[in-house]
Amino acid sequence: MNAIDANGVKKSFRGGMSLAKREVLRGVTLDARPGEILGFLGSNGAGKTTTIKIVLGLIRADEGTAELFGHPAGSKEAALRTGYLPEMPYFYPHLTLGEFLEFCGRLSGVPPRLLAERIGRVVETVDLSPHRDLRLKTFSKGMLQRAGLAQAILHDPDLLVLDEPFSGLDPIGRRLVRDVLVDLRARGKTIFFSSHILPDMEALCDRVSIIRDGIIAKTLGLDELMRLGEGRIEITARGVRMGTLAPLHEYVSAAADRGDETFIVVRERRFVRPVIEHLYGRGADVLAVAGVRRSLEDIFMQEIARPAVPGGAEASNADRPRDPAVFAGF
């Protein structure tokens, strides 16, 4: 049984001034399998938060169904097993972190005798132990975000739904959240999170569902992710003379000189060896070989932005690895 099963979810909102309804979700279908980290990727306004709210039963789908562990979204059974971090969460400013977590724990039905110990543990996990007795209104944005994570994992839920868990965090905070999520997955928990920070997603997710204009454009598995992520391979060499590279045109997609160094982009992995041997054979010196992975960002731009903004600046950005003109400008 899947942790999340959303099937053909549709949702319209009435626009502000006009009475016309606008379809924000046009049939979202996605599933989070037990024990995986499923990323939820989409540009601003694509419908991520709306989907998440439907999954949690905070709003109702017009059509389609959403189930958590086989229970309808919003049911008590589903809520018992789910932890949620809202986008831009608001916390009660007058409460201390400890009081706030106590409140959350009681709402989630954590037995009172376990509560103190649980709170101590999650506060430790998100690195807020020294601030336990401070009012939440004195917290910084990053601290609030971590407090939000603490309340989401407090009752040890089987499913975590996180709406932009990395927003407002510095690199150390991001690292911390990442470690927490990886640790939870290792303990068999399912995690569903949306994010704009693509490297975080690339490093964490088993699968990524990409939403565009209210519909899932694509769901990529780990192997597809890896394959898509295979990018260019760059060789840096010195002493490459005019004409040295000419016989390599089938192996090399681009090359550019900068000072006495030359950057060479190899088309495929299997061409690395012949290219290097050729360079050595012609008296050139190889200084570095680097595999530059295509980031999810590049993929994202190609899958999402290109059809939406044909010929836009962002779309051509995604082509950078293959574009010798850009490359020459190193």
Partner 1 sequence: MNRIAAVAINTFRESARERILVVAAVFGAVLMGATVFLSPLAVGARQKIVMDVGLAAISIIGVLSAVFLGGTLVHKEIDRKAIYLVLSRPVSRPAYLVGKLAGVVLAVSLIFAVMTAVLAAALVLGDAALRPAVFAAVYLSLLETAVVASIVVFFSTFTTPMLTSFFALCCVAAGSLSNDLRVFAEKFGGAGTRAAANAFYYLLPNLKVFNLRHEAVHDLPFRVGDLALATAYAAVYVAAVLCFACLVFRRREFA
- Is the CB of 18 or the CB of 44 nearer to ligand ATP? 44
Check binding of 326 to partner 1 (CB under 8 A): no
Q: What are phi and psi of 312, to 5 degrees?
A: -70, 170
CA distance 49 to 52: 5
82 binds, among ligand ATP, Mg ion, partner 1, none (CB under 5 to 8 A by kind): partner 1
Check binding of 62 to partner 1 (CB under 8 A): no
Contacts of 1 (CB under 8 A, 6+ apart): 34, 69, 70
Check binding of 103 to partner 1 (CB under 8 A): yes
The answer to whether 65 and 155 have CB atoms below 8 angstroms apart is: no
> Of residues 9, 56, 216, 304, which one binds partner 1 by CB under 8 A?
56
Which residues is 329 bridged to in the sheet?
Answer: none
Residue 112: Cβ within 10 Å count: 9
Largest Cα–Cα separation, the chain: 78
> Of residues 1, 13, 290, 319, which one binds ligand ATP by CB under 6 A?
13
Check binding of 109 to partner 1 (CB under 8 A): yes
Check binding of 45 to ligand ATP (CB under 6 A): yes
91 binds, among Mg ion, ligand ATP, partner 1, none (CB under 5 to 8 A by kind): partner 1
Min CB(193)–Mg ion separation in Å: 11
Contacts of 263 (CB under 8 A, 6+ apart): 234, 235, 236, 255, 256, 257, 327, 330
Min CB(208)–partner 1 separation in Å: 24
Contacts of 184 (CB under 8 A, 6+ apart): 153, 160, 191
Check binding of 210 to ligand ATP (CB under 6 A): no
Binding mask 123-162 for partner 1 (x = CB under 8 A): ----------------------------x-----------
Tokens of 8: 């053909």
CA distance 160 to 57: 14
CA distance 20 to 320: 41
Check binding of 168 to partner 1 (CB under 8 A): no
56 binds, among partner 1, ligand ATP, Mg ion, none (CB under 5 to 8 A by kind): partner 1
Q: Which stretch binds ligand ATP (CB under 6 A): 37-45, 66-74, 105-113, 279-287?
A: 37-45
Q: Which stretch binds partner 1 (CB under 8 A): 72-80, 168-176, 177-185, 272-280?
A: 72-80
Distance of CA 127 to the CA centre of its chain: 22
- Is the CB of 46 or the CB of 176 nearer to ligand ATP? 46
> Of residues 50, 108, 145, 151, which one binds ligand ATP by CB under 6 A?
50
What string of DSSP letters covers 81-138? TEEEE-SS----TTSBHHHHHHHHHHHTT--HHHHHHHHHHHHHHTT-GGGTTSBGGG
Check binding of 195 to Mg ion (CB under 5 A): no
- Is the CB of 38 or the CB of 275 nearer to ligand ATP? 38
47 binds, among ligand ATP, Mg ion, partner 1, none (CB under 5 to 8 A by kind): ligand ATP
* Site of interaction with ligand ATP (CB under 6 A): 13, 24, 42, 44-50, 87
